[in-house]
Amino acid sequence: MAPFSTVLTASEAQEVLRKKALGALGELPPFSPILTRVLASLAGNDVSFAALSDLIEKDAVLAGNLLHLVNSALYGRRGTINSVRHSMSILGMDKLRNAILGMSISRMWNSTRMPSSWSMARFNLHSAATATLSDMLAQRLPVTYPEGAFVAGLLHDVGRLLIALGLNDQHDRIQRLSEKGELAPVDCEREVLGFTHPELSGEALGYWSLPDPIQTAVRFHHDPDGDDSKAKPGEIRLSRILDAANQYVNSIGVSILPVANPRESDASLIESLGLEPERLERALAEFKAEFDTMSQFFR
């Protein structure tokens, strides 16, 4: 008799790949205590300045980076700030939380062994840029769950990292297909895998117990029209903010994939959100200034 063999259906094969990609979460370094504490604050848990200060002072790299940040031209201080607690008061809780998230997650990614086809530097810069712009737009527009804009931007493409880490052969096929220019990268993923990185990103955020509005925004950041989450009249869903920021950042060449000839910056999707031209111009100028300063911490 011929040996028994099992032939998987397309949906079964797709599920095997999806589980293998999500299994790559186990290959990522564990969250640091301060990152765990800050992420918990997004779910409404109180985090005091004193508690954060104690944790930051125990992390020499993070403490040094925060001091470097507050002494940069972005904050225009005349005297040098040498105290972690003083630097925290200058930043304020929102900026402090964003800086901790960005610096800590970037450092975590950088300690992950990735295949040679993956550029962690481009991934970090794209994630940081999308996070920074998403947060700035959320400050200026009526957005659902605006406090989640930065972390949603920072983690929106973690699914792409999981594909590269857990499904290396398929990741290479997706890249080769994308380089032909016939399909958008997300459609190349669907062609090869049967699912896409936004879906994986949303599941990863669920694994990390991040709030539902952030999971939803990330899951639909390439398809905000498919996001049917609740929004008050006049509010913009966070997925639309994330989509607009992501597309603008890609348009200026800050992309995960190498871009030989970046297109002229395209802010049309941001304009469609309702920002007046003058406010949009100021927002993009502020974004550039902050990103230029912060990018040194995300390489």
Note the pLDDT of residue 259: 65
Asked whether the beta carbons of 299 and 121 are under 8 A apart, the reply is yes
Note the pLDDT of residue 1: 47
What is the rounded distance in angstroms from the CA atom of residue 101 to the CA atom of residue 36?
10
What is the rounded distance in angstroms from the CA atom of residue 50 to the CA atom of residue 24?
35
pLDDT of 85-96, one tens digit each? 888 888 888 888
Note the pLDDT of residue 3: 55
Per-residue pLDDT of the chain (299 residues; tens, 9 = 90+): 455 556 788 888 999 999 999 999 999 998 888 888 888 877 666 677 777 888 888 888 888 988 988 898 887 777 788 888 888 888 888 888 889 999 999 988 988 989 888 999 999 999 999 999 999 999 999 999 999 999 999 999 999 999 999 999 999 999 999 888 888 889 999 999 999 999 999 999 999 999 999 999 999 999 999 999 988 899 999 999 999 999 999 999 999 987 655 566 788 999 999 988 899 999 999 999 988 888 887 76
Q: What CATH fold (topology level) applies to the domain 10-28+115-297?
A: Hypothetical protein af1432 (1.10.3210)
Site of tokens 């090869």: 192
What is the rounded distance in angstroms from the CA atom of residue 280 to the CA atom of residue 34?
34
pLDDT of 96-148, one tens digit each? 888 999 999 998 898 898 988 899 999 999 999 999 999 999 999 999 999 99
Note the pLDDT of residue 82: 86
> CA triplet 65, 71, 72: central angle to 5 degrees?
90
Note the pLDDT of residue 241: 97
Number of other CB atoms surrounding residue 12 within 10 Å: 10
What is the rounded distance in angstroms from the CA atom of residue 244 to the CA atom of residue 52?
32
* Location of each CATH 1.10.3210.10 domain in the chain: 10-28+115-297
Note the pLDDT of residue 152: 96
What is the rounded distance in angstroms from the CA atom of residue 98 to the CA atom of residue 154?
9
